Structures are given as structure tokens and as C-alpha cells.
Amino acid sequence: MPVDSGAGRPRLLAVSQACREPVNRAVYRRLAAHHQIDVHLVVPVRDLRRWVSTDGAAGIDPLHAMYLETYGPHTRLQRVRGLGDVIRRVRPTHILVDAEAATLLVRDVTGVARETGARVCVLTTENRPRRFMREGLAAIVRGRPALGVGGVLAWWLLRSARRSLDHVFTICEDGTQVMSALGFDGRVTQMPLGFDPDLFYPQSPERIAATRARLALHSPTVAYFGRLVREKGVDLLLRALADLRDLRWQFLIDRFVEYRTPYQREIEQLIDTLGLTDRVVYFDAAHRDIPDYMNAADIVVLPSITTPTFKEQYGRVLPEAMACGTIVVGSSSGALPELIGDAGFVFPEGDVAALTGLLRKLLASRAGELAPMREHAASRARAELSIVRQAAILAGHLAA
């Protein structure tokens, strides 16, 4: 039987792999609680046996979340088993797919949506100019036929998406420009990848002091949060800190015990080589605990670097840290400057000397000197970058 949520009430089916993590469901919970949207959530997972729903075998949580198994040899060719049946049963008025437009998943969804009358939109992180057919043909000429076929296939899927998608949501200015150039001009809306203000906010001095005492933080603290991959530029941050050994500071970083990568081992070796071992404080925490560590830090740095295959798409840790009233420093890569605005500090990406000079200035600041910036950062984050803003933009589209 089709689901009935009441006459005239928007019914949203969101398809999002990111929602495997409960923290990423916050915007959908807000849509349901504050905007009277009936939200159903499909969480595609590779191995269905590994995932257990919040209320047992029924596979339903307060967002009507359903885990469905994915299959396919490549991200662009991924499909979700049983998704068409869910769409036909739920009969949503709108479907939001958290994926790139040029994917087989989007083609599958729009095909079923034509039967049910649902309007389909995507949430994309694409932020680099793409010429799929040209890229594919160039790969074939270079003797990489598999990559070439992928480019041609992406071109074909993009043509389909241009005809069938109702709207595209982007998360940065680069993404808006790219999607407009790919043929979606007039159907693009930019919105933040919001943080949950119920988690990220300036904590009381007593709570901050307790966290710092538990971590044995006794000096001004520079912190890095996020994935430990080369594109994030953590090695550059360590080299900058090594040039500041004449100042008092400690460096706070996640130990990342859940996985090991060559770059992680490289970072550990670099800490030892630069003689920074006694300055480094490691923590192990789930995402729900990150606000404690962000509040305990004085400066959060995201020194991302652009490569031929990567440009910072968003940098979610910066709005989270800003919301905690922490001073943020980001490189000029991709979306970071627009996130920070006038509520933090930006340095030219890859410029270790510039980062060193900026950190020296901040670490040498007098007590209270940066308080206005901290207050402004928290205010900007709350007003512009939280799930409150993201949900309002989504709800406005659903009601249109």
C-alpha cells in the first residue's frame, strides 16, 4: 500500500550513503520536526548484513530509514537493490539523491519517478570543471581504455540527467559554476553542508577546562580535525609548527586507530623527524565527542592543497570549529575561503612560510585579543552554515 502522509504535505525520499553515520541525518530530522516534511530515508550500503536498524528487524527509525544493498563495479555504475519498489510504495512528492548527477543511480531513480510523478533533485559535491567525452577520448588515446569508457559513459549519463533532473543542490561556489556549465543553469541552488548546532556551540569555561585537563593540554593548542590524507596538507602544518618551536604550543590530532594508511605512517615519522613528539597530543573520539575537542583547541587549521584530482569541496570541520567559537585557519583551496569569510584567517595553499607567519601572530596574541573574532565566528556559523539554514533551503524548494 502506498504511504499516506496527509493531503498537501510534502513527502521526501532521501537516498544518502552518508547517512550511515547518524550525525549526517540531523538535517532530515530537522526537516521532519520543524518544517512538517514527511521524510523517508534510504541508506545504501555495500554489505547489508553489517547494518542493524535502530529498532531491530523492521528496518525503520523515526525517519523511516531503510538500509538497502548496493551493487555495481564503480561509483558511477552503482545501483541500489529494491530502491524502485521503495519509491513505488512510498510515492514521494520529491526524491533527493546524495550523488553526482552523471550516475546510473540517478538514471534509475528518475526512471521510476516518471511513473510516480515525483520530482528528483541531487545533492552534488562536484566542484571541478568536467568535459566527460573529451576526458574519455583523451584517456583512450593515452592507452587507458577502461578510464576512457568511463568518461564516455559519464557523458551519456549526464545527458540523461540534464533531461530528467528537476534541481541540483551544490555546497560551494565552484560547484554552482560547474553544474551551471554542465547544463543545469537555472536549476541550481547552493546550500551549506550544515552542522548540528545542538552539538557544536561554545561550551562553558568549566567544561572546556575539564577537557583540557583530561588531555593534559597546558599550552595554546593548535588542532587538526578531519581525514588523514595527503590532500589535507597535514605535513605542511607540521613543518610550519616546527618553525615555531620557540613559542609555547601543543598540537592536537586524532590518532585514527580505526585504519592505517601510508600517509598516516608518514605523518607519524615526520612528527618524530621534526622533533615534535613531546608537543603532540592524540585523541580518539567518535564524531559526537568532537565538539569537546574543538572547544578545547585555540586554533583549528585545515591546510588543504589542490591537486589534479582534488580541490577542497567544503571542509566541514571549519564551520563546526567556528560554531564552537574557535579560531579557524584555512588554506585558499576550493571552498575554504568562502566558508571562513571574515570570521577566520586564510593563507595561500601550500605556502608553509605564510602559514608559519600567521600561526606565529595568532599564538603570540595577547589574552582576549581574539575574543571578538571568536564571537563573530560562532555567530556566522550559526546564521549561515548550520542545518537550520540547510533545512530552510531544502524546505523552501519542497514547498515551491
Going by the DSSP 8-state scheme, the letter that residue 58 receives in this structure is G
- The rounded distance, in Å, linking the Cα atoms of 37 and 32 is 5
Q: For residue 331, which of 318, 191, 201, 48 has the smallest C-alpha distance?
A: 318
- The rounded distance, in Å, linking the Cα atoms of 322 and 336 is 13
- The rounded distance, in Å, linking the Cα atoms of 151 and 169 is 23
- The rounded distance, in Å, linking the Cα atoms of 95 and 112 is 11
Superfamily of domain 205-383: Glycogen Phosphorylase B; (3.40.50.2000)
**Span 302-323, pLDDT tens digits:** 999 999 889 999 999 999 999 9
CA distances from 50 to 45, 46, 69, 125 (A): 9, 9, 11, 27
What's the pLDDT score for residue 400?
79
> Beta partners for 189?
169
What's the pLDDT score for residue 57?
35
CA distances from 62 to 29, 86, 163, 264 (A): 8, 17, 34, 38
Could you give the 3-state DSSP secondary structure of residue 260?
A: coil
List, in sequence order, every beta strand (DSSP E) within 264-377.
Answer: 280-283, 299-302, 327-331, 345-347
**At a CB cut-off of 8 Å and minimum separation 6, what does 386 contact?**
192, 194, 195, 196, 197, 319, 323
Widest CA span of the chain, in angstroms? 70
283, 328 Cβ separation under 8 angstroms: no
- The rounded distance, in Å, linking the Cα atoms of 265 and 21 is 26
| C-alpha cell at position 260 | 592505517
| Average pLDDT by stretches of 10, the chain with 400 residues | 58 94 90 94 87 44 80 88 96 97 95 96 91 69 69 82 96 96 95 96 98 96 94 97 97 78 90 96 86 97 95 96 98 97 98 98 92 97 98 93
Q: What are the structural domain ranges in the chain?
A: 11-194+386-399, 205-383
Superfamily of domain 11-194+386-399: Glycogen Phosphorylase B; (3.40.50.2000)
**At a CB cut-off of 8 Å and minimum separation 6, what does 38 contact?**
3, 5, 6, 9, 10, 11, 12, 32
Domain 11-194+386-399 matches domain 205-383 at the CATH topology level? yes
Could you give the 3-state DSSP secondary structure of residue 158?
A: helix
Give the chain's end-to-end CA distance (angstroms, integer): 27
DSSP 34-51: HS--EEEEEEEES-GGG-
CA angle 192–19–155, rounded 5-degree value: 70
What's the pLDDT score for residue 145?
66
- The rounded distance, in Å, linking the Cα atoms of 66 and 322 is 33
- The rounded distance, in Å, linking the Cα atoms of 13 and 25 is 13
CA dihedral 167, 169, 174, 180 (to 10 degrees): 0
**Span 105-147, pLDDT tens digits:** 999 999 999 999 999 999 999 998 877 667 766 766 677 766 6
16, 98 Cβ separation under 8 angstroms: yes
- The rounded distance, in Å, linking the Cα atoms of 317 and 235 is 18
What's the pLDDT score for residue 49?
77
The phi-psi region of residue 71 (left if phi > 0; otherwise alpha if psi is between -120 and 50; otherwise beta) is: beta
